[in-house]
Amino acid sequence: FSEIYSKAKRYGFLMPKKEQLLAFFNQVAERVFGEKTDPLNMFAVTCPRYNEEDGLSETANAYLTTLPHIAAVLSKYEIPYKGYVLVDDAEGRLADGLYLDRLGLTMEKYKAECMRNVEAISRVVAEDGRMDKVSVHLFQDIFPNFRSVVDSLERRLYQLTLSDTELRLSMAK
């Protein structure tokens, strides 16, 4: 834990805080003390960068700067892990497509841009031997039901706001 903290301070990356920090250290400790032998799964969701062939988004750059250091510590202490960098491709229908319109993208172009980001991030991961257990995917390839679950939640929340004046007012505040 101290090595992860010292790397965070030295290289300037942010560590989780409060409950997230406790959950992370608990999961690491379970593997250090042999309570669990399955790999620690680490997920990093990054925004895609649009209309720029060579650029990576700020979130992708941040993860690609941080992950090698965390991965090196986990490997050094033989803590099994799998890292997943997920390019967020779940925004295509956001605001009934107005988000894509604002970006000047069609649904097909949006999907192509997200896939281009997966390929660009994958190249960076492949070039860094410290990230040999990190893979890159589209978000919806790993969580295919995400969009339908969110849609259901949004519809239910909308129905609740129609029937519950207090809820509607509290949400407005």
Dist. CA 140–CA 138, nearest whole Å: 6
Length of the chain: 173
Supply the pLDDT for residue 86. 94
Token digits for 42? 């680490």
Residues 86-135 pLDDT 10s: 998 887 766 566 777 877 888 888 888 889 999 999 999 999 988 999 99
Dist. CA 32–CA 34, nearest whole Å: 6
Token digits for 93? 């229908």
162 has pLDDT over 90: no
Supply the pLDDT for residue 97. 65
**Cβ neighbourhood burial of 134 (10 Å; 0-12, 13-18, 19+):** buried
> Residues of 62-72 as b/e, b for ≥16 C-beta within 10 angstroms?
ebbebbbbbbb
Q: Is the pTM of this model over 0.95?
A: no
Residues 4-47 pLDDT 10s: 878 888 877 777 788 988 888 899 889 888 888 899 898 989 88
Token digits for 160? 């609740």
Q: Which residue matches tokens 């007012």?
A: 169
Q: Find residue 45's DSSP bridge partners.
A: 86
Helices (H), 13-145: 18-32, 58-76, 98-103, 107-127, 139-142
**Cβ neighbourhood burial of 12 (10 Å; 0-12, 13-18, 19+):** exposed
Q: Measured between alpha carbons, how far apart are the two ends of the chain, in Å?
A: 41
**Alpha-carbon torsion angle 57, 59, 64, 67, nearest 10:** -170
Report CA torsion sign: 136, 138, 139, 143. negative
